[in-house]
Structure 1
Amino acid sequence: MGASVRRIAAMVLRYWYLLRGSWPRILELAYWPTVQMIMWGFISQFMATNSTWVAQAAGVLIAAVLLWDVLFRGQLGVSVSFLEEMWSRNLGHLFVSPLRPGEWVTALMTMSLIRTLMGTIPAALLAIPVFGYSIFDMGLPLAAFFGNLIVMGWWLGLLIVALILRHGLGAESLAWVAVFLLAPVSAVYYPVSVLPGWLQAVAWTLPSAHVFEGMRALMFEDAVRWDHLAWATGLNIAYMAAAAGVFLHFFNVARRRGALLQTGE
């Protein structure tokens, strides 16, 4: 166990040095969440005077965009850290060491959490003086929303890593576009009820839809919807187990085929 923790910590330290040594990477982490928060903040201010629905809960769109960025950054944190190993042709070097796949994945997820916090916290803090809204006013339910969204980002990232291992860097664009395929049915900015009936059924199979419905219930009704949180948690557990199985399968296939040594830019 001690050796395992040391190997995970060593990989996290490796990714941290890569991030710390590049100011454009650090700037990019906070840039997009902040720009989106400002844009949606002004949209929210406009709609508050022209939309009864938005006026009922100040900051609902700002909260939505900040929580959506947790999901996006969580997924991107896993995918990009993996892609950096692919671009530098370093996978073969990693796995001739005692590093195990599970330890590597744990390091990727830890780095994803760090990158997500570095990106979203500055935007959330800036929203307080600029728009007079603090997402932290949600209290403890915010931790549940955050946890479910970042775990969803992790299993999405694992699936993308598995597909890149299977198909090579030709599939790397999935790291940036895959999560947006789920945005229309995640009900980020509108209730699930506005979707067509058949799409509502699809939406309820996603943890993100339950999280955003729970967020709106908290903001509009001042009620914690434990049923939505329970569904989101249960779905995340099931999807994480499935994603881990898919990842391990394609990782073992790539190792047998020698793709860990051959794949690169």
Structure 2
Amino acid sequence: MSVFSLGRVGAMMLRYVYVLRSSWLRALETAYWPAIQLLTWGFLQTYFASAGVAQSGPARVAGTLIGAVLLWDILLRTQQGFSFSFLEEIWSRNLANLMMSPLRMSEFIVALMAMSVIRLAIGVVPVIFLAIALFGFNLWSLGAAVGTFFIALALFAWSIGIIVSGMLMRYGLGAESLAWSLMFVVQPFGCVYFPVSTLPVWLQPIAYALPPTYVFEGLRALLIDHVFRSDLMITALALDAFYFVMALLAFSHLLAKAREVGSLLQSGE
């Protein structure tokens, strides 16, 4: 049995970089939507401030909305970067070839995770500087907390990406819409733009079961109270570990079923 190979991981990453580099429109699209989201919500926050809507309470703290927008884009683009790289194999009818190659599934997943970070950097880093230029909000000024937020969000995004990839292997392009839409189901329950207390009491347990909830609550605590809530981050990372393991188990099960029914050979456009 072959051992884990960083060379094969690098080869897969190089393939995706070539695909991304082959069209400047791919790179532009990666940054386009985060920029539009930032402009929409950033100017909305500016309007609220100028209209006197945010004179009291947590909303008065500049950057809470913009910070949430940036962290949401990190979560969303990491998941989509993972899923879109996987979709490249289905669109090109190359998935069956990979299954017959020496490539291990662990190497494939690591390559997709690494590629999601590259796509994230292309899409979100310019938007972070745009937030500094237009709205005076510097995400980097949050210091080491940004790294903790990123790890907690990325682990959850990869879990969703792994599950979506398993669904694509089992059900083909019939599950393609999940790559775009599944993370948006998390958005209202992850309390991206509002505290958990805003939700009805019967919905709050759902919010507390999601790692992003603790990240966005931690962001608001940091910006409003100037306190880094390590307890929230520990809970988020513990939930991330649980979801990541469950996602890997689900992926293995869906891959086995895909091989059993032969759906790997039927994927493609």
Provide the TM-score with structure 1 as the length reference. 0.97
Could you tell me which residue of structure 2 aligns to residue 168 of structure 1?
172
Could you tell me which residue of structure 2 aligns to residue 9 of structure 1?
10
Could you tell me which residue of structure 1 aligns to residue 147 of structure 2?
143
Residues paired across the two proteins, number: 265
Q: State the distance in 2 between where 1:3 and 1:160 align.
A: 23
Shift of residue 162, structure 1, vs aligned partner: 1.2
Shift of residue 219, structure 1, vs aligned partner: 0.3
Shift of residue 230, structure 1, vs aligned partner: 0.4
- Verify: 1:56 aligned to 2:63, yes or no: no
Secondary structure of the residue aligned to 1:189 is: coil
Question: Over residues 134-174 of structure 1, what are the superposed CA-to-partner deviations in whole Å (9 max), with x where a residue is unaligned?
Answer: 11111110111111111111100111111122222111101
Shift of residue 246, structure 1, vs aligned partner: 0.5
Secondary structure of the residue aligned to 2:57 is: helix
Q: State the distance in 2 between where 1:131 and 1:34 align.
A: 13
Could you tell me which residue of structure 2 aligns to residue 98 of structure 1?
102
Could you tell me which residue of structure 1 aligns to residue 235 of structure 2?
231
Q: Call closer, same or farther: CA 1:77–1:218 in 2, change over 3 Å.
A: same
Shift of residue 244, structure 1, vs aligned partner: 0.4
In the alignment, is the contact (CA less than 8 A) between 1:74 and 1:151 conserved in 2?
no
In the alignment, is the contact (CA less than 8 A) between 1:44 and 1:54 conserved in 2?
no
Matched AA of 2:7:
R
Could you tell me which residue of structure 1 aligns to residue 19 of structure 2?
18
Shift of residue 206, structure 1, vs aligned partner: 0.2
Shift of residue 54, structure 1, vs aligned partner: 5.4
Shift of residue 56, structure 1, vs aligned partner: 3.1
Matched AA of 2:196:
V
Question: Over residues 177-199 of structure 1, what are the superposed CA-to-partner deviations in whole Å (9 max), with x where a residue is unaligned?
Answer: 10111111111110000101111
Q: State the distance in 2 between where 1:200 and 1:101 align.
A: 36
Question: Over residues 96-124 of structure 1, what are the superposed CA-to-partner deviations in whole Å (9 max), with x where a residue is unaligned?
Answer: 21001111011011000110111111000
Could you tell me which residue of structure 1 aligns to residue 77 of structure 2?
73
In the alignment, is the contact (CA less than 8 A) between 2:58 and 2:224 conserved in 1?
no
Could you tell me which residue of structure 1 aligns to residue 259 of structure 2?
255
Alignment identity in percent? 47
Of 46-55 and 249-258, deviating more is: 46-55
Q: State the distance in 2 between where 1:209 and 1:27 align.
A: 30
Gaps of 5+ in 1: none
Q: State the distance in 1 between where 2:48 and 2:239 align.
A: 33
Could you tell me which residue of structure 2 aligns to residue 192 of structure 1?
196
Gaps of 5+ in 2: none
Could you tell me which residue of structure 1 aligns to residue 128 of structure 2?
124
Of 19-28 and 51-60, deviating more is: 51-60
Matched AA of 2:31:
A
Shift of residue 200, structure 1, vs aligned partner: 0.7
